[in-house]
Amino acid sequence: MRTLYILILYIMPYADPPIPLWSLGMIAGMYAVMPFLYYLCRQNKFTLIDFYVMSALLVFLVIGGYQMYFYPQRYHKYYSHESKIHEIPENFVDRQIPKISSAVYIYNFLYYIGFGILMVFIKSYKEFVYLCFRALLLLVSLFLFFMLVPNKVHDSTRDANEPNQFLKLAQSCDDLTNAFPSAHVAIAVFIAFELKKHIGKSAYLFPLLIFGSCLCTKQHFFIDCIGGAAWGAGYSFLMI
């Protein structure tokens, strides 16, 4: 566990783009509250300190591990010709879905809280480490695809006058590339497969909410989300 923590800690300072201070404040606030809530709902023998330790590791794991997601964006921005980046087409379904900026709170807040929900059910630190390792392998598989098959959504999905500051922050960190398959949906499906072991089919409500938030924020098109669901399900079946 100590080795995992040190490795992630060294990745953290290289986050690009930099995380604004108010966003770090939100992360700190969630860190102060969520482990206590997980502790109250626990289905294991972990102590409150255990939940704070695992939550700290998750924060570094998410921020550090997600650099694999952002690297293809930076790489293709500087080293790939625009014509080599395939543009994902908008289809009939996408045109029927209105933009709902407030869906970003599902897209980001609920999405990251979902990572921690698994801690309520796991029985040991070993199970926690293996779960983190499987999640990192999923990110590696997505990273390889984004490097080999660069793609993006059309810039019409972005509004320069976006009033929701949290969505504006998300879009400033996450550019138009890495659209297909949706990493958000793929990881949400992976989490659902892990949760299903403990709460049954109701676990699938989580990726459905993330799927909808991706469409309503216009971060992804319908085909991206279908691809993400297939990727997450295929990966989870392989792990099982």
Q: What is the pLDDT of residues 91-106, one digit of tens each?
A: 999 999 999 999 999 9
pLDDT (0 to 100) of residue 10: 42
> What stretch of H or E contains 140?
helix 125-148
**Dihedral (C-alpha) 20, 22, 25, 26: value to the nearest 10 degrees?**
-100
CA distance 34 to 51: 9
Q: Could you tell me the pLDDT band of residue 22, with boundaries at 50, 70 and 90?
A: low
Residue among 184, 186, 59, 183 at smallest CA distance from 119: 59
pLDDT (0 to 100) of residue 1: 46
Residue among 184, 188, 190, 180 at smallest CA distance from 146: 180
pLDDT higher than threshold 50 for residue 224: yes
Model confidence over 157-188: pLDDT tens digits? 998 888 888 898 888 888 899 999 999 999 99
Give the predicted TM-score (pTM) of the model: 0.89
Q: Rounded to an integer, what is the distance from CA 202 to the centroid of its chain?
A: 20
pLDDT higher than threshold 80 for residue 192: yes
Q: Which residues pair with 86 in a beta bridge?
A: 151
pLDDT higher than threshold 50 for residue 197: yes
